[in-house]
Amino acid sequence: MLIGYARTSTLEQDAGLEAQVRDLTALGCGKLYQEQVSSVAPRKALEAAIDFARQGDTLVVTKLDRLARSVVHLGKIIETLEAKGVALRILNLGVDTATPTGKLMLNVLGGVAQFEREMMLERQREGIAKAKAEGAYKGRKPTARAKAEEVKALAAEGLSMAAIAARLGIGKGSVHRALNPKAA
């Protein structure tokens, strides 16, 4: 059986999720799991798809980045699938781990993807360091400090720290620091 898995990171990516579902359905996936969560969040639909899979089944995703967040994570998923006798197919790469060539290609492509991500992060760090040296990088604006007076006013009204944080869209720790500046 073909088991499809579709994921987008945010709720705003409805079109991307619909496209994945369309492609997986057109391929003939007998069971389809989908979710809209970050790759680092717990992914209950992915866990359910892997739990559901039986020997001889194939888990199908449209793109590698919809499945795994790193080479290590991909390795764990593949290890789990192999232990169950389940293959993995990635449509946009034309990779199917039911074949030895597919297994090799997946490992090579996963390594390249991890390398590219690490290079991108290195370039980002270098760009930030250069901007800081030129005085052009200030970092994120301290939004919670800008709301310190609002925090104090709401606290004077008797609202709890959690209620203040929710109303102002800041963390409870920020509320605490605004109310107790010497403790910070």
9 is catalytic: yes
CA distances to 18, 80, 164, 168, 179 from 172, in Å: 36, 39, 8, 10, 11
Q: Which of 9, 38, 39, 160 is catalytic?
A: 9
Comparing CA positions, the residue from 101, 38, 109, 30 lying closest to residue 74 is: 109
Provide the sign of the torsion angle of the four alpha carbons 97, 98, 101, 103, taken in this order: positive
Helix (H) or strand (E) segment spanning residue 42: none
CA distances to 17, 35, 76, 159 from 80, in Å: 25, 20, 6, 49
Per-residue burial over 158-178, b if 16 or more Cβ lie within 10 Å, else e, is ebebeebbeebebeeebbbbb
Q: Which residues are the active-site residues?
A: 9
